[in-house]
Every structure is written in C-alpha cells, then in structure tokens.
Amino acid sequence: MGGVTLKVDDLEVSLVFGGMSPEHAASRASFSFVYQELTAQNSGVALRNIYYVDLNNRITCRPFKQNALAEDYMRPSEPVDYAAAADMMSRDTGYLFNLLHGNYGEDGHVQGLANLLKLRGSFGPVLPASLAMSKVHMQRYVSGYQKIVKVPDTGVVTDSSKSPDTATLLGKFGGTKVVVKPNSLGASLFTECYTVTEAEVPRIIENLALISKYDERALVQAFVSGTEYSIGCVRLDNRVVALAAVRIDTARGFFGHKEKHRQGNVEEILVEEDRPVISQLKAMSCELFDDLGFAHMCRFDYIVTGCDDIYFLEANPIPGLMRNSIFPKMLKKSGMSIAQLIRHFSCQDAVKLHKRSVYDYSID
C-alpha cells in the first residue's frame, strides 16, 4: 500500500472505479475527472490507493504516484478477486470513494460487502442502492409515497414473460410515442424514443431483445411531453441539502444515450431562480432522500408538463462525475468542489452511530 507525504489537514482518500458493468466506460470517465480534481494543488485531499475493477470483476490495487496520469491506473496488473481486494480495503487508511457505476457497484452488491466488512467509505446502505437501481420499482415506491407525483404508463418485459408482438404494442400504444429503456442500466444505454406504428414496431422489438441480453427487465413507457429537470441532493452535516437544479433541453425533446454522451445534443442549464415547481421538486427530492436513507448523494430526474404535472423518472445514487456531467455542474454552482464533498462525507461517517447487530436471547 502506498501514499504520499501529507499536509497536517489533508484527508487520505482511495478511489474505486471500473467494474464488470455496461457502465464501465462511464466509471472510467468519472474517475478521470475526480482524479484530476483531487490531484489539483491545495485540494485538501491526498490520494493513497487506486482500485481498478476490470471487466472480469478482478481488482488491481496501485498506490498513488505523483505525476501519474489517470490512464496509468486503467489496466489490470496482477489483479486479485474481491475477497483479497476487500481485505486490502479493510486495511486501507484512506477514505474509500466509490465510483463504480451500475451493476455490482451501485445496485447493493458492493454496498452489502462494504457494510459486512465495515469498510470506511462512501458505499452507503443497501436498501436505497438496490431500490434506486430498479427504475420500475423506484417509480412504484415514489408514486405511493408522494401522492402528487405521477409515473409514466409502463409495460414491463421480463425474461419469463412473452415479448410483446406487433398486435400487442399497437393495441396498447398504437399511434403514440413510447420510450424503451432497460430497467436497471444507467448511462441511458439502449434508451430510445419511438412512435408506435407498424413500421416502427420491428425496431422496438429488436431493442427489447438487445436489452434482454443485459437486463432482466425492459420497460416500454408512454412518452411524457414536458421539461426534464434533475435535482441533486447531498447529506451535509447530517442534513439533506438540495443542490442547484438543472433543466435539460434537447432538440428532439428527449434525453437519450446520444444526448447524454455526445456533445452538441443537449443543453444542461442551471436554474437560477426557484419558481414554485422547482422548490417543490427540491423539497420532494430531499424527502425521498431522507426517507429511503441515502447516506451521501443522489440525483433525481423528473419531467414537468406544461400543466405543472410532475412525473418521476429515476434516481441515481452514484451520479456521473464526468467532466461534463450534470452533478459536477450542480456542485460547482453550489460552491462545492469534489474534494470538499468527499471531506464532508468522511466527517459525517466518522461520527455516525452504528446500530447493534447482535442480541443474545434464548429459544425454548
């Protein structure tokens, strides 16, 4: 295990990124930006170790080296399995900042392991991670908890259900626009908008088949016309704070994979004034954050129609931290750096009261 010479008040931080996930590339891009931010002069953070999880779910640990590039940490070298890596992490003196997106990093798997081993880091609890990873179940929870929130009319296609045919799709959605998306993948992978016509149905069915190779559930949702907003929340000093809201404008009125990851297809505009509906979105997001028990951060996405009806889309417990991502823009507008955010998380975790796990009782 490595490290660097510390200033007295520097926080030691180790980073975990990569992952056996379709979002591997997104995690690498998040790591690159966070690495750049944390290695900036006077960041208040001293990097200690970098854990790279490769596409085979094996982990390479490298000590941080001055002047090393982010790319230098992105190749396997004598990788070990999770059991060995978890042992290294349990002995790591750095605060572990989790940048694993999607499967096995954001869905409760790593969170459960971290809690069992009492790893010191930003992994958070299992429940909100697992629930947020399933869009359809999170939507059901939110619509039950927040009565003023609507969710799009949704059809769910599972491995065990019969894939919809032309007649079924035309019967339910004929002539209308729908959004087809995976239930549990991020980065808007395979997310596309269609008008349900006989000519388009084969493309819909083809996309559903593609999604089924990566996800147990595919969603066919009624398209909701309106303005998309993203609300970021963080826990600071043990209270939930909403960051600056972002309005998402696209040429075709739809925020898909192309819009999210290709420059020039979207404008992400920081909302300067909190008109009533924005204040409502922020208050609601803070309530959801607290009720589900998110420990550190989450980004909630909504569509607001022209009549100010609110539709909930999804929650992202480990929002993208790429250079041009929404969450870093929210942080910057709120006057907070990535390094300051991690320091807040570390301080909160240091004083967190842990519940007892063992109680001795007799059974006759």
Residue 165 CA to residue 205 CA, distance in Å, equals: 7
* The pLDDT of residue 274 is above 80: no
* The pLDDT of residue 306 is above 60: yes
Domain C-terminal end among 186, 221, 256 = 221
Q: What is the pLDDT of residue 272?
A: 81
Least confident window among 105-119, 267-281, 332-346: 267-281
Residue 166 CA to residue 173 CA, distance in Å, equals: 10
Closest CA to 357 of 129, 125, 116, 130: 116
Domain C-terminal end among 221, 244, 259 = 221
Q: What is the pLDDT of residue 3?
A: 35
The answer to whether the beta carbons of residues 216 and 226 sit under 8 Å apart is no
Residue 331 CA to residue 312 CA, distance in Å, equals: 22
The answer to whether the beta carbons of residues 185 and 23 sit under 8 Å apart is yes
Strand, coil or helix: 56? coil
* The pLDDT of residue 160 is above 90: no
Instruction: Kindly state whether residue 362 falls inside one of the protein's structural domains.
Output: no
Beta bridge partners of 50: 15, 62
* Same-domain status, 135 and 162: no
Q: What is the pLDDT of residue 1?
A: 35
* Same-domain status, 242 and 323: yes
| Helix boundaries (H) for the chain | 24-38, 82-90, 109-117, 126-133, 135-145, 166-173, 201-212, 257-261, 276-292, 326-333, 338-350
Q: What is the pLDDT of residue 262?
A: 64
Instruction: Kindly state whether residue 358 falls inside one of the protein's structural domains.
Output: no
Stretch 31-38: mean pLDDT, rounded?
96
Stretch 210-227: mean pLDDT, rounded?
92
* The pLDDT of residue 2 is above 50: no
* Same-domain status, 161 and 263: no
* Same-domain status, 271 and 345: yes
Instruction: Kindly state whether residue 38 falls inside one of the protein's structural domains.
Output: yes
Amino acid (1-letter code) at residue 250: T
Q: How many domains does the chain have?
A: 3
| CATH label of the domain that carries residue 25 | 3.40.50.20
**Higher-pLDDT residue of 263, 90:** 90
Strand, coil or helix: 346? helix
In sign, the C-alpha dihedral spanning 46, 331, 324, 100 is positive
* Same-domain status, 257 and 344: yes
* The pLDDT of residue 6 is above 50: no
The mean pLDDT of the chain is 89
* Same-domain status, 258 and 316: yes
* Same-domain status, 239 and 322: yes
Q: What is the pLDDT of residue 255?
A: 74
Q: What is the pLDDT of residue 8?
A: 42
Stretch 201-222: mean pLDDT, rounded?
91
Instruction: Kindly state whether residue 214 falls inside one of the protein's structural domains.
Output: yes
The answer to whether the beta carbons of residues 85 and 105 sit under 8 Å apart is no
Instruction: Kindly state whether residue 333 falls inside one of the protein's structural domains.
Output: yes
| CATH label of the domain that carries residue 186 | 3.30.1490.20
Stretch 234-263: mean pLDDT, rounded?
81
**Higher-pLDDT residue of 167, 90:** 90
Q: What is the pLDDT of residue 259?
A: 64
Domain extent for 217: 154-221
Stretch 331-336: mean pLDDT, rounded?
92
Amino acid (1-letter code) at residue 204: I
Residue 85 CA to residue 62 CA, distance in Å, equals: 11
Whether this model's pTM surpasses 0.85: yes
* Same-domain status, 209 and 248: no
Tens of pLDDT, residue by residue over 81-112, are 999 999 999 999 999 999 999 888 999 999 99
CA distances from 14 to 49, 266, 342 (A): 5, 33, 11
Stretch 114-129: mean pLDDT, rounded?
94
* The pLDDT of residue 183 is above 80: yes
* Same-domain status, 140 and 277: yes
Instruction: Kindly state whether residue 272 falls inside one of the protein's structural domains.
Output: yes
Q: What is the pLDDT of residue 146?
A: 82
Per-residue pLDDT band for 277 (boundaries 50, 70, 90) equals very high
* The pLDDT of residue 55 is above 50: yes
Stretch 288-298: mean pLDDT, rounded?
95
Q: What is the pLDDT of residue 233?
A: 96
* The pLDDT of residue 4 is above 70: no
Do the bridges between strand 246-250 and strand 239-242 make them parallel or antiparallel, or are there none, so unpaired? unpaired
Instruction: Kindly state whether residue 5 falls inside one of the protein's structural domains.
Output: no
Instruction: Kindly state whether residue 361 falls inside one of the protein's structural domains.
Output: no
* Same-domain status, 198 and 235: no
Residue 342 CA to residue 211 CA, distance in Å, equals: 34
* Same-domain status, 21 and 92: yes
Domain C-terminal end among 221, 247, 278 = 221
* Same-domain status, 137 and 105: no
Name residues whose C-beta falls within 8 Å of residue 301's C-beta, 6 or more positions apart in sequence: 228, 229, 230, 231, 312, 313, 314, 315, 316
| CATH label of the domain that carries residue 327 | 3.30.470.20
